[in-house]
Structure 1
Amino acid sequence: MTQRTVYVNGDYVAEQDAKVSVFDRGFLLADGVYEVSSVLDGKLIDFPGHMQRLKRSAGALEMALPWDEAALLTIHRELIRRNALEEGMVYLQLTRGSAGDRDFDYPGADTTPTLVLFTQAKALVYSRSGSKGIRVATQPDWRWARRDIKTVQLLYPAMAKMAAKAAGADDSWLVESGLVTEGASNNAWMLTQEGVLVTRELSHSILPGITRAVVLKIAESLSLRVEERAFSVVEAQSAKECFVTSASSFVTPVIAIDDVKIGDGYPGEVSRQLREAYIVESRRRVI
């Protein structure tokens, strides 16, 4: 198996040689943020949007980000080159670093942040889930209240995904006060029987998805009526279509929620149309 090259604090190293301090706050306190940029044909999708969100997440946590977008782009491109990545993702993780011991207080301004990046090869365009759709199971949304910050504290989403798989589903949708917030690692959408495309409005309750924003623009260009609002599980189960969006899955149809078929139980026409349009648009704007 070919070993990946990863980036750790200024160095490109073999993955087995990558190390950070045991006192790193990302490890001890989940004091970090991350981004995932997709790669098609060896080039990056929606990179400026991901870097803008990274800057927003770091700012919300008062975390230093001493690399500008150009420097981060150079690192991304070099990792793609070194790993000969044609299709997949580049993960970036930024933590507050290590002050040499464990403490709840933020370390001083002279503490150097930790920056780690690695690649992951994955079929994006011709994925099975993209063509066949996925089944989701609902789980209570027990995450913290600032879900709009893309932090590395992903234990509960992992638990929700495992609970969904135990129930025979592929992924989970998280529910709070009877309303769908989002998927465990994606934004949730539905198409009503009247042909209205619905996704939850931006707030502290959901992550402002970069793919979500692009799909909203594509929907507008296709003259689809869109409403940004919360919806219930029952409403979604009676919808004409449902799907999720994320950088790592593009537009993926949802064919069942808690074993209730959506529509005829197959990917719907609008979901397929939006997925195809997203791939075309992404290839047009890669860098």
Structure 2
Amino acid sequence: MRTVYVNGEYLPENEATISIFDRGFLMADGVYEVTSVLDGKLIDFDGHAVRLERSMSELDMRSPITKEDLLEVHRELVRVNEINEGLIYLQITRGSDGDRDFVFPDPETTAPTIVLFTQNKPGLADSPAAKKGAKIISIEDIRWGRRDIKTVQLLYPSMGKMMAKKAGCDDAWLVEDGFVTEGTSNNAYIVKGNKIITRQLSNDILHGITRAAVLRFAREAQMEVEERSFTIDEAKEADEAFTTSASGFVMPVVEIDGVALGEGVPGTIALRLREIYLDEMRKAAI
């Protein structure tokens, strides 16, 4: 049985509770982060901590914990749950002042709710899915306009993954005004003529922590990167494609809407970036 963290306490998972009036439950009024663990160490913790603070700031939420204490909670959960490869899920909500109301509770008198738990994922780095590559469908992007804030409003992304599953595929890319925004839980990329193309940062997409690292490594490896919007039709004609996320790292894409990319196998640039990312992030893990 896992040990989890709830509002300052380490508890067995079956003893962990929050209020039914918590705004995360009633209003999806919360933010989250997922940090990967490789070799028992945290991958890009600082990046996730900085984005967490930004998400809370954008929603006028106050943090219930310092960055230093948050790091110690992460490390303790890795230790007690004996995680070598896996994930740590962190969620902070606005909490509750005891009843349901659309108006925010007073932040001076209402403590946020903080929850963390681990997921053991042996073989996370050596993923069979990455060797096979993902098949993608495209769906309309009808989410709210502040996708740069990592909120717990994940119903439509979940529906998108279910649409992909029903179509015999692995995931979906979201399309707005003819252009790909991102995947259901990842950033999206295509490769054409050895150029990596991915949508520029804005409120339209999540500012991915893995995205930032991968683009930095790509440029350091003298790969050409262009940050701009691209269409699904352009993606179908690409030489290869991939996604990035904290849990999937760099995931090759081999098919979009039934159209095979290149030879229909993971592309060389995606595989090379995955290799570089895992190598560099393991060196920097804490």
When normalised by structure 1's length, the TM-score is 0.98
Residue 186 of structure 2 is matched in structure 1 by: 186
Residue 216 of structure 2 is matched in structure 1 by: 217
Q: What per-residue deviation string (whole Å, max 9, x for no partner) do you get for residues 25-79 of structure 1?
A: 0000000000000000110000000000000000000001031110100000000
Report the 3-state secondary structure (helix = DSSP H, G, I; strand = E; otherwise coil) of the residue aligned with 1:63.
Answer: coil
1:105 aligns with 2:103: yes
Amino acid at match of 2:71: L
Contact 1:180 1:232 in 2 (8 A): yes
Residue 118 of structure 1 is matched in structure 2 by: 117
Q: Distance in 2 between matches of 1:248 and 1:262?
A: 23
Amino acid at match of 1:59: S
1:15 aligns with 2:13: yes
Report the 3-state secondary structure (helix = DSSP H, G, I; strand = E; otherwise coil) of the residue aligned with 1:244.
Answer: strand
Q: Distance in 1 between matches of 2:164 and 2:272?
A: 27
Q: CA deviation at 1:129?
A: 1.2
- Alignment root-mean-square deviation, CA: 0.6
Amino acid at match of 2:267: G
Report the 3-state secondary structure (helix = DSSP H, G, I; strand = E; otherwise coil) of the residue aligned with 1:255.
Answer: strand
Contact 1:124 1:250 in 2 (8 A): no
Q: What per-residue deviation string (whole Å, max 9, x for no partner) do you get for residues 87-109 of structure 1?
A: 01100000000110000000012
Contact 2:64 2:114 in 1 (8 A): no
Q: Distance in 2 between matches of 1:30 and 1:66?
A: 18
Q: Distance in 1 between matches of 2:180 and 2:146?
A: 16
- Runs of 4+ displaced beyond 4 Å: none
Q: Distance in 1 between matches of 2:129 and 2:202?
A: 28
Q: Distance in 2 between matches of 1:195 and 1:74?
A: 42
Q: Distance in 2 between matches of 1:167 and 1:138?
A: 11
Report the 3-state secondary structure (helix = DSSP H, G, I; strand = E; otherwise coil) of the residue aligned with 1:188.
Answer: strand
Moved more, 154-163 or 122-131: 122-131
Q: Distance in 2 between matches of 1:68 and 1:203?
A: 27
Residue 57 of structure 1 is matched in structure 2 by: 55
Q: Distance in 1 between matches of 2:97 and 2:207?
A: 31
Q: Distance in 1 between matches of 2:164 and 2:98?
A: 39
Residue 87 of structure 1 is matched in structure 2 by: 85
Residue 46 of structure 1 is matched in structure 2 by: 44
Q: Distance in 2 between matches of 1:173 and 1:185?
A: 9
Q: Distance in 1 between matches of 2:191 and 2:212?
A: 17
Residue 153 of structure 2 is matched in structure 1 by: 153
Report the 3-state secondary structure (helix = DSSP H, G, I; strand = E; otherwise coil) of the residue aligned with 2:116.
Answer: strand
Amino acid at match of 2:201: L
Q: Distance in 2 between matches of 1:101 and 1:118?
A: 26
1:66 aligns with 2:64: yes
Q: CA deviation at 1:127?
A: 0.9
Q: Distance in 1 between matches of 2:77 and 2:232?
A: 41
Residue 172 of structure 2 is matched in structure 1 by: 172
Residue 284 of structure 1 is matched in structure 2 by: 283
Q: What per-residue deviation string (whole Å, max 9, x for no partner) do you get for residues 204-233 of structure 1?
A: 000000000000011101111110000000
Q: Distance in 1 between matches of 2:70 and 2:131?
A: 33
Moved more, 125-134 or 253-262: 125-134
Q: Distance in 1 between matches of 2:161 and 2:64?
A: 34
Report the 3-state secondary structure (helix = DSSP H, G, I; strand = E; otherwise coil) of the residue aligned with 2:48.
Answer: helix
**Which structure 1 residue ranges, 5 or more long, are not aligned?**
none
**Which structure 2 residue ranges, 5 or more long, are not aligned?**
none
Q: Distance in 1 between matches of 2:224 and 2:271?
A: 17
Q: Distance in 1 between matches of 2:254 and 2:114?
A: 38
Contact 2:190 2:241 in 1 (8 A): yes
Q: Distance in 1 between matches of 2:120 and 2:229?
A: 34
When normalised by structure 2's length, the TM-score is 0.98
Q: CA deviation at 1:265?
A: 0.3
Identity of aligned residues (%): 57
Q: CA deviation at 1:140?
A: 0.6
